[in-house]
A = this chain, B = another copy of it.
Amino acid sequence: MNIGEIARRAGVSRSTVSYALSGKRPVSAATVQRINDVIAELGYRPNASARALAEGRTRTLGLVVPPASRRLTDVQLGFVGSVVDAAAAHDLDVLLSPSGGDHDRSFERIVTGRRVDGVILMEILLEDPRVERLSQASLPFVTIGHVEHPGASWWVDVDYGALITRCVHHLADLGHEEVVLINRSAELVAAGYGPALRSATGFLDATAARGLTARTVCCADEAAAGLACFEQIRTQWPSVTAAVTINEAALPGVQRALHRAGLEVPRDFSLTGVIAERLAEDFHPPLTAADVPAVELGRLAVDLLLAQIADAGAEPRHALLEPPISLRSSTGARRHG
Residues of A within 8 A of B (CB): 43, 45-50, 52-53, 58, 60, 63, 65, 67-69, 71-72, 77-78, 80-82, 84-85, 88, 91, 93-98, 104-106, 108-110, 112-115, 223-224, 252-253, 256, 259, 278, 281-282, 284, 295
Contacts and interface: CB of A to CB of B under 8 A. Distances in A.
Nearest to A285: B256
A223 B256 CA distance: 16
A252 B105 CA distance: 39
Given A58-B49, A77-B77, A284-B256, A68 B94 contact: no
Nearest to A58: B49
What is the oligomeric copy number? 2
A53, A91, A95, A96, most chain B CB atoms within 10 A: A96
Contact of A112 (B45, B58, B63): B45
B68 A84 contact: yes
29 contacts: A45-B108, A45-B109, A45-B112, A45-B113, A47-B53, A48-B115, A49-B50, A49-B53, A49-B114, A49-B115, A50-B53, A53-B53, A60-B95, A63-B96, A67-B81, A67-B85, A68-B78, A68-B85, A68-B295, A71-B81, A72-B81, A88-B97, A91-B105, A91-B106, A91-B109, A93-B96, A93-B109, A223-B282, A224-B281
B98 A95 contact: no
Given A71-B77, A224-B281, A259-B284, 19 more contacts: A43-B112, A45-B108, A45-B113, A49-B53, A50-B53, A63-B96, A68-B78, A68-B81, A68-B295, A72-B77, A72-B81, A81-B98, A84-B98, A88-B98, A88-B104, A88-B106, A93-B115, A95-B95, A96-B96
A49, A52, A109, most chain B CB atoms within 10 A: A49
A295 B110 CA distance: 24
A256 B88 CA distance: 38
B113 A46 contact: yes
A67 B94 CA distance: 13
Contacts of A91: 105-106, 109
B48 A109 contact: yes
List of 10 A-B pairs having minimum Cβ-Cβ separation, nearest first: A68-B81, A49-B52, A223-B282, A45-B112, A48-B113, A48-B115, A49-B53, A252-B282, A68-B85, A94-B96
A332 to B, nearest CB: 19
